[in-house]
């Protein structure tokens, strides 16, 4: 196996790539790779590791020796999958690595929004508590999660992890059917059509991939169906929610708040409707929900196992 990693810095400098190096018999590493440098850097390699670098038909045509692409993430939208199939290139990806860290981040967003944590912190720093006429400062409505309903759209590994943690806060769980997905019952939870789910939930958390069917799954119409104090959480993929519609809804008080770890463009070099400074009760984090060291190291270990399996290598 002759392997190259095109954007190793995306996993951070604190992870140990030894498991992959051991399987591959060495590994050529680049911190990052510009689009114009991809072909030159993968030529002569049969195995390419990428996180966000885009690989297209043109790359496959220029590098006929390429046999395996190992994506060190779950989503493979950066790979021309149809072309890979035509050229007999196997695509490997990583799943079930971030249950704990993503679920933790999701709950952190829910808790921060429900308690108006950032608003009260800002009030203290702006001197409002110091001038209060009583021992405490109130003014931002606090949502108690016990007895509230959490709707989860995307009940895979991450959605299941969020459900487990939400139950510990006394929340009731309902599942939402993605477009094209059948309603029913899963793990004892009802899975409802979105139109039936949305009016019932106090918190809606998204954990599904971005596809043609799920793009802008939550728009102005869907936001208008939710409770006025409902919270919307997206730690999954940018594009699941129509961002301008959400910005407008938050300004107008259509829903109570939102917490997002993902945007349609990452990084948002060309701006984004959700980055305006006049949107109330909105928290944006920089696609960091997955990024605990433990989760990133699991990515390396799962990638190594995937490569070993693809190469027919068995542990002695």
Assess contact for 194 and 217: CB atoms under 8 A.
yes
Assess contact for 226 and 251: CB atoms under 8 A.
no
In angstroms, the first-to-last Cα distance of the chain is: 18
Q: Which of 207, 237, 242, 296 is catalytic?
A: 237
Closest to 150 in 3D by CA, of 97, 210, 190, 208:
190
Cα(249)–Cα(232) distance, rounded to whole angstroms? 11
The backbone torsions φ and ψ at residue 124, rounded to the nearest 5 degrees and listed phi first, read -65, -45
Provide CB contacts within 8 A for 165, sequence distance 6+.
103, 104, 106, 107
Is 266 an annotated catalytic residue?
A: yes
Provide CB contacts within 8 A for 263, sequence distance 6+.
238, 243, 272, 274, 284, 287
Is 237 an annotated catalytic residue?
A: yes
Collapsed DSSP state (helix, strand, coil) of residue 92: strand
Classify residue 310 by its DSSP letter: H
Quote the tokens at residue 143.
Answer: 């949502």
Cα(38)–Cα(29) distance, rounded to whole angstroms? 13
Is 36 an annotated catalytic residue?
A: no
Q: Which of 90, 165, 287, 301 is catalytic?
A: 287
Q: Which of 86, 164, 265, 266 is catalytic?
A: 266
59-96 burial: b if 16+ Cβ within 10 Å, else e: bbeebeebbbbbbbbbebebbbeebbeebebeebbbee
Q: Which residues are catalytic?
A: 237, 266, 287
């Amino acid at each position: 196996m002759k392997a190259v990693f095109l954007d190793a810095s995306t996993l951070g400098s604190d992870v140990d790539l030894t498991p992959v190096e051991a399987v591959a018999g060495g590994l050529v590493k680049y911190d990052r790779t510009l689009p114009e440098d991809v072909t030159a850097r993968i030529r002569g390699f049969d195995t390419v590791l990428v996180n966000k670098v885009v690989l297209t038909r043109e790359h496959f045509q220029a590098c006929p020796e390429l046999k395996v692409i190992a994506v060190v993430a779950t989503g493979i939208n950066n790979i021309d999958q149809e072309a890979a199939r035509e050229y007999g290139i196997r695509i490997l990806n990583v799943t079930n690595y971030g249950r704990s860290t993503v679920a933790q981040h999701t709950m952190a967003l829910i808790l921060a929004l429900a308690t108006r944590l950032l608003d009260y912190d800002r009030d203290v720093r702006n001197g409002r508590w110091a001038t209060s006429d009583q021992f405490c400062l109130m003014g931002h409505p606090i949502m108690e999660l016990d007895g509230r309903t959490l709707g989860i759209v995307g009940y895979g590994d991450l959605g299941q992890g969020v459900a487990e943690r939400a139950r510990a806060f006394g929340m009731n769980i309902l599942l939402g059917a993605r477009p094209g997905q059948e309603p029913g019952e899963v793990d004892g939870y009802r899975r409802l059509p979105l139109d039936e789910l949305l009016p019932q939930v106090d918190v809606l958390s998204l954990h599904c991939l971005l596809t043609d069917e799920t793009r802008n799954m939550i728009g102005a119409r869907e936001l208008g169906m939710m409770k006025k104090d409902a919270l919307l959480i997206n730690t999954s993929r940018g594009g699941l929610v129509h961002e301008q519609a959400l910005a407008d809804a938050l300004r107008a008080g259509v829903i109570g708040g939102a917490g997002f770890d993902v945007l349609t463009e990452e990084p948002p070099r060309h701006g984004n409707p959700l980055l305006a400074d006049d949107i109330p009760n909105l928290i944006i984090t920089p696609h960091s929900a997955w990024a605990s060291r433990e989760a990133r190291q699991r990515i390396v270990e799962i990638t190594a196992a995937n490569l070993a399996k693809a190469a027919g290598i068995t542990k002695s």
